[in-house]
Structure 1
Amino acid sequence: MTDPIPSPLPGGGVPGGPVSSVDLPTPGRALVIGAHPDDAEFLCGATLAKWAARGCVINHLVLTDGSKGTWDVDADVAALVARRETEQLEAARRLGSRGKVVMLGHVDGDLQPSLHVRDQVAYWIRALTPDVVLGHDPWKRYRLHPDHRHAGWLAVDAVVAARDPHFARHHDVAHHRPSAMLLFEADEPDHVEDVTDFVDTKVEALLAHASQFVTTHDIPPDDDGTAAAAFRARITARAETVGATAGVAAGEAFKAITRL
């Protein structure tokens, strides 16, 4: 049996016209909320690297355990979960993160936008006090993977719960209102972060997720470097395409929400 044909690399939306804004002020603290290990690196890794280089404390909140991230029907799932956590820690280090990497450990593919999980996410927004929260855009049409949809709703709903003092009063931390959200994978992105000079850092962080080379990166185990170079070229080309919409050399695109 042959392996399935790899899906296109995750990359988020490309603005269809002029963007409304370029570059938020560098936040003091940021929190990226991803459905799986490697989602943050694919969808906003260069932005995180840029902010980290400018002194921002980057935090990761990964909602699932990544246990479905293989095509090997005989895989040791427990070992895969442990490996993906290790890879996520290394990817964050390569981005320059000085914050926390929190793995909630919900089963990959079974994530639900429940009150329980919203409570968990809201707690970490309050505890980490990010100025900017980044997450999946839950309004994206025709999204196939349920974890991405649900992670988007959890991020948006948890920002509301975190900011208002009468939600989750059992938390041992005060309520917190971020100043902005940047939603990746948006159908109608209107904001670009100029990531010129940070795309290579994004690629290096993605290459920390070695367990995903076959399933997502399209890098075979016996690669002589050719497939890895092609992977780098695809990531770079996408950043250049997005950047061109904002008049910069390389970019990452988001739907910006600045009234929270």
Structure 2
Amino acid sequence: MTDNEATDLPELPGDWQRALAVVAHPDDLEYGCAAAVASWTDAGKEVGYLLVTRGEAGIDTIAPDVCAPLREREQRASAAAVGVTTVEFLDHRDGVIEYGTALRRDIAAAIRRHRPELVVTLNHRDGWGDGPGAPRNTPDHVAVGRAVLDAASDAGNRWIFPELADQGLAPWDGVRWVAVAASGFPTHAVDAGPGLERAIESLLCHRAYIEALTDRKPEEYVREFVTETATRSAARFGGRPAVTFEVFPR
């Protein structure tokens, strides 16, 4: 057992009001942390979603021009299931997202616009676990996650992307944490129990994607996935089902 596995996980800080979740594709948040989002919106917190792509390359049997609006609709329904009404898309190309200043600028602009205290993203590391044999992460997830970590700082520096101020987006240095979901190196957790059923409903909204992904009944696949994921870290969180995060304070 590693030190990482043996350490109990503290509760993610809750003394904030606004969050912005930034991920590469529709369904990333639903596979990663929808139960936590449901708990936050229940508590009256404001959560917005920013999708870097519309997921147009995500379903092999559906052409991108047909797939993009379908997946956008599924994402909006999925967000609504956990109390999120603000869903925006950046329109970078699915599957070939490039880490760089253009992506950092787009995310920094969104952070300045929404002015969150908490920024959430998905695993930015090369693998999904904490060992050498961990399944490999996708380039899109890695690029977006790393860009989010950088953009959280970029948003507060008036001399990085000064053109944003000319667009009416004043610097925002109020991000206090970046919380990375589905990391192999979690440092904090949120109780998944109260939001578990809505997290299942939220992922199930991506029905077209799930039906292309598996031959199993979508309801069975989704319930099993969300429940197993939430219980995986329960032993480190007082026996409660958990959504885990690797938290980077700022």
State the TM-score, normalizing by the size of structure 1: 0.85
Distance of 1:248 and 1:26 partners within structure 2: 23
Question: What letter matches 1:108 in structure 2?
Answer: D
Checking the alignment, whether the CA contact within 8 Å between 2:24 and 2:141 is kept in structure 1 is yes
1:67–1:77 Cα contact (<8 Å) kept: yes
Unaligned runs of 5+ in 1: 1-14
The aligned amino acid for 1:157 is: D
- Which residue of the partner structure matches residue 143 of structure 1? 136
Distance 1:213 1:20 in 2: 31
Residue 86 of structure 1 aligns to a residue whose secondary structure is helix
- C-alpha displacement of 1:180: 0.8
Distance in 2, matches of 1:248 and 1:53, equals 22
Partner of 1:55: 44
Distance 1:52 1:184 in 2: 17
Which of 75, 85, 95 matches 1:88? 75
| Whole-Å separation in 2 of the counterparts to 1:96 and 1:60 | 11
Displacement of 1:106 in angstroms is: 1.1
The yes-or-no answer on 1:176 pairing with 2:162 is no
- 1:160-201: CA deviation from partner (whole Å, max 9, x where unpaired): 100222211111211112111111232211111112221111
The AA in structure 1 aligned to 2:205 is: A
Residue 176 of structure 1 aligns with an amino acid whose one-letter code is: W
Distance in 2 (CA, whole Å) between partners of 1:55 and 1:140 is: 35
Cα deviation code 1:136-157 (max 9, x no counterpart):
2323436331101101111111
What is the percentage of aligned positions where both structures have the same residue? 24
Q: Report 1:148-159 matches (<5 A).
A: 148-159=141-152
Count of aligned residue pairs for this structure pair:
236
CA gap of 1:144–1:241, structure 2 versus 1, over 3 A, is: closer
After TM superposition, which residue ranges in structure 1, 4 or more long, deviate above 6 angstroms? none
Q: Give the secondary structure class of the aligned counterpart of 2:149.
A: helix
1:6-45 aligned within 5 A: 16-45=5-34
What amino acid does structure 2 have at the position aligned with 1:148? H
Whole-angstrom CA distance in 1 between matches of 2:41 and 2:239:
20
1:127 aligns with one of 113, 138, 145 = 113
- 2:120, 2:181 within 8 Å by CA — same for their partners in 1? yes
SS at match of 1:64: coil
The equivalent residue for 1:247 is 238
| Amino acid across the alignment from 1:168 | F
- Tell me how far apart the structure 2 counterparts of residues 23 and 168 of structure 1 sit (CA, whole Å): 31
Q: Is the 8 A contact 1:27 1:51 kept in 2?
A: no
- TM-superposed CA distance for 1:96, in Å, is 0.4
Q: How far apart in 1 are the matches of 2:32 and 2:92?
A: 21
How many Å apart are 1:210 and its aligned residue? 1.3
Do structure 1's residue 71 and structure 2's residue 60 form an aligned pair? yes
Contact 2:9 2:236 in 1 (8 A): no
Partner-residue secondary structure (3-state), 1:154 = helix
Aligned partners of 1:206, 1:147: CA distance in 2, in Å?
A: 20
TM-score (norm 2): 0.88
Q: Alignment partner of 2:159: what SS?
A: coil
Aligned-residue Cα RMSD (Å) equals 1.7
Deviation at 1:49? Answer: 0.7
CA distance in 1 between partners of 2:71 and 2:88 (Å): 13
Change in CA separation of 1:102 and 1:230 when aligned onto 2, cut-off 3 Å: closer
Cα distance in 1 for residues equivalent to 2:186 and 2:65: 37
Choose which of 223, 229, 233 in structure 2 pairs with 1:238.
229
Distance verdict in 2 for CA 1:41–1:234, change over 3 Å: closer
| Aligned-pair CA distance for 1:69 | 1.2
Structure 1 residue 212 displacement after superposition: 1.0
